[in-house]
Amino acid sequence: MKNLLKVFRNSMFFLCMLFLFNGCSTNENNKNKTEVVTEKPLHAVDTVYIKQMQFNPAVLNVKIGDTILWINNDLVTHDVTSDKPNSFYSDTLHVGQSWKMPVKDSAGYHCSIHPTMLGKLVLK
Amino acid sequence: MKIFKFLTKTAICFAVSTGFLSLSADAQKTTKLTDPEIASVAVTANQIDIGYAKIAEKKSKNADILKFAETMAKDHQSVIDQAVALVTKLGVTPKTNATTKSFLAGAAKTKAMLNSKKGNAFNKAYIDNEVAYHKAAINEVENVLIPDATNGELKSLLQSALPLFKEHLAHAEMVQKEFSK
C-alpha cells in the first residue's frame, strides 16, 4: 500500500513538472511572436504638437496609412482643418485635448480659428 | 471720400495712441512695475479687447469681422482665466496703477468712436483699431511687462501670450486688407 502511494505521488509530481515546463515554453513562443510584430511596424504614429501658435513640426513626411496625432499644448483653443474643402477636419481642440487621423494623401492644413497657423503632410 | 478716410484713420490712431502714449509717459515717470501691477495691466488689456469684440458682435454683419471678434473674445478670456489662476496660486492681488488707468481712459475714447459708426465704416474702424491695439499691446508686453516681471511663472505666462498676440495682429491685418480696397 505504501509503495502504491509513493508511485502515485511521484507520478503526480512528474505530471506537474511536465505541465509547468510546457506552459513556460508556450509563453516563450508567444513572446517571440510579439517581438516580431513590434520590430516591423506597418504604419507609424507621428505627433504634431500645437504650441505657441504653431504646428510643430509644421511639415511632416508621412506614408499612407500612418496615423497623425495632434496635441493642443497651447494657451487657447485650436482645430485642424484641411486646406481642401470637404476633406478632413477635427472638432475644436481645447487646451490639453488631442485628435488623430490616418493619412490618406498629402495635404495642407490650417487652424480655422487662427488662419495664419499652417501645416503640411508630405508623402515620402 | 479720401478726406473722410484720412479723418477716420487719424481718429483711430489718436484714440489708440491716447491710451498707449500716455501709458509710456506714465511708465517713464514711474519706476519698474511690480508683479501685482503687471497682473492688473495684463488682465485689463485683455478685458478691453473683449469689450471691443462685444461691440463688433452687436454692430457688424460682416462674417469675417464677426469671426475675428468671436476669436478675440474667446482667446483673451482664456488668457485672463490663466492669469487669474496664476495670481490666485501665487497669492498676488492685481493692483490698479497709472498704466491700467491709461489703458481704460484710451479704451473709453475708442469705444465711443466705435459706437458712433455704422455699417462698413464701423467694420473698417474696428479692424483698424484691432491692428493698432495689438501692435501697441505687443510693444508693451515685450518692452515693459516681460522685462519688469520678477516672478518666473508670471514672466513665462507673458512670454507664452506673446505669440498669441502676434497671431492676432497677423489675422487682423489679413481681415484689414478686405476693407482697404
Task: Quote the pLDDT of residue B125.
Answer: 98
Whether A116 and B163 lie within 8 Å, measured CB to CB: no
Contact A72/A78 with Cβ under 8 angstroms? Answer: yes
Q: Give me the total of CB pairs closer than 8 Å, taking one residue from chain A and one from chain B.
A: 35
pLDDT digits (tens, 9 = 90+) for B73-108: 999 999 999 999 999 999 999 999 999 999 999 999
Asked if residue B3 has pLDDT above 80, the reply is no
Residues of chain A with Cβ-Cβ distance to B163 below 8 Å are 52-54
- Structural domain count of chain B: 1
In A, which residues are within 8 Å of B82 by CB distance?
75
Distance of CA B61 to the CA centre of its chain: 22
Say which CATH superfamily domain A45-123 falls into.
Cupredoxins -  blue copper proteins (2.60.40.420)
Query: Closest Cα of chain B to A53: distance in Å?
Result: 6
Task: In whole angstroms, give the CA distance from residue B112 to residue A29.
Answer: 78
Residue B109: CATH number of its domain: 1.20.1260.10
pLDDT for A2: 55
| Main-chain dihedrals φ then ψ at residue A75, nearest 5 degrees | -80, -25
Q: Is A75 on the interface with B (CB under 8 A)?
A: yes
Q: How far from chain centre, in Å, is Cα A100? A: 10
**The pTM is what?**
0.78
Q: Which residues contact B14 (CB under 8 A, 6 or more apart)?
A: none
* Predicted complex: ipTM over 0.85: no
pLDDT in the model for residue B82:
95
> B171 vs A77: CB contact, 8 Å cut-off?
no
From residue A56, how far is each of A83, B100, B156 by CA, in Å?
A: 17, 36, 20
In one letter, which amino acid is A28?
E
Contact B82 A53 (CB under 8 A): no
pLDDT tens-digit readout, B26-48: 444 457 999 999 999 999 999 99
- Reduce the DSSP state of residue A60 to 3 states and report it: strand
Q: Do A116 and B160 touch (CB under 8 A)?
A: no
Spell out the domain ranges in chain A. 1-40, 45-123
Looking at residue A42, what is its pLDDT? 74
CA pair distance B54, B115, nearest whole angstrom: 11
pLDDT at residue A43, as a whole number: 82
Q: Using an 8 Å Cβ cutoff, are A100 and B58 in contact?
A: no
Mutate to test the interface with B, among A49, A51, A53, A93 (most CBs of B within 10 A): A53
How confident is the model over B108-132, as pLDDT tens digits? Answer: 999 999 999 999 999 999 999 999 9
Partner A contacted by B160 (CB < 8 A): yes
Distance in angstroms (rounded) separating the CA atoms of residues B142 and B139 = 5
Q: Which residues of B touch A93 (CB under 8 A)?
A: none
The Cα–Cα gap between A75 and B167 comes to: 13
Residue B59: strand, helix, or coil: helix
pLDDT in tens, chain A (124 residues): 456 556 556 655 555 444 444 444 444 444 444 455 455 567 899 999 999 999 999 999 999 999 999 999 999 999 999 999 989 999 999 999 999 999 999 999 999 999 999 999 999 8
Q: What is the C-alpha separation between A83 and A120, in angstroms, rounded?
A: 10
